[in-house]
Structure 1
Amino acid sequence: MTNLYLVRHAHSVYSPDERNRTLSERGQQDAARVTELLEPEHIHVLVSSPYKRAIQTIEGLADRIGSGIIIEEDFRERLLSEQPVDDFEQAITKVWEDASFAWEGGESNQAVQFRGVQALKRVLEQYRGNNIAIGTHGNIMVLIMNHFDPRLDFTFWRQLDMPDIYKLSFSDQDLAEVQRIWNRPSPSAW
Structure 2
Amino acid sequence: MRTNVYFVRHAHSEYTPDELGRPLSKRGIQEAERVTEELLKQENISVVLSSPYKRAIETVAGIAGALGTEVIPIDGFRERLLSVQPVTDFSAAIKKVWEDHTFSLEGGESNKDAQKRGVDALIHVLDTYSGENIAVGTHGNIMVLIMNHFNNDYGFEFWNNLDMPDIFKLTFDGLKLAGVQRLWNRDWQSIDLRKNGQLE
> Do the two structures share a fold, i.e. TM-score over 0.5?
yes
d(CA) in 2 for partners of 1:126, 1:151: 28
TM-score normalised by length of structure 1: 0.97
The residue number in structure 1 matching 2:25 is 24
TM superposition shift of 1:26: 1.0
Aligned partners of 2:81 and 2:102: how far apart in 1?
A: 14
Q: Distance in 1 between matches of 2:123 and 2:38?
A: 25
Q: Secondary structure at the match of 1:19?
A: coil
- Count residues in correspondence: 187
TM-score, structure 2 normalization: 0.92
The one-character-per-residue Cα deviations of 1:137-174 (angstroms, maximum 9, x if unpaired) are 00000000000111011000001000000000000000
2:162 aligns with 160
The question of 1:11 aligning with 2:12 is answered yes
| Offset at residue 115 of structure 1 (A) | 0.3
Gaps of 5+ in 2: 190-200
Residue 67 of structure 1: how far off its partner (Å): 1.3
The residue type equivalent to 2:9 in the other structure is: R
1:120 alignment partner, one of 109, 122, 126: 122
Alignment of 1:49-128 (within 5 A): 49-128=51-130
C-alpha deviation, 1:184, in angstroms? 3.6
**1:186, CA displacement in angstroms?**
4.3
Within 2, Cα distance between the matches of 1:3 and 1:38? 12
Q: Which amino acid in 1 is paired with 2:123?
A: K
Kindly report the root-mean-square deviation, in angstroms, between the aligned alpha carbons of the 2 structures.
0.9
| Structure 1 partner of 2:141 | 139
Work out the CA distance in 2 between the residues paired with 1:94 and 1:137: 19
Question: How far off its partner does 1:33 sit?
Answer: 0.5
Q: Distance in 1 between matches of 2:36 and 2:45?
A: 11
Could you tell me how far 1:182 is from its partner in structure 2?
0.7
Superimposed CA distance per residue, residues 5-28 of structure 1 (whole angstroms, 9 cap, x where no aligned partner): 000000101000000001011111
1:115 partner letter: R
Q: Tell me whether 1:130 sits opposite 2:132 in the alignment.
A: yes
Tell me the CA shift for residue 185 of structure 1.
4.2
SS at match of 1:166: strand
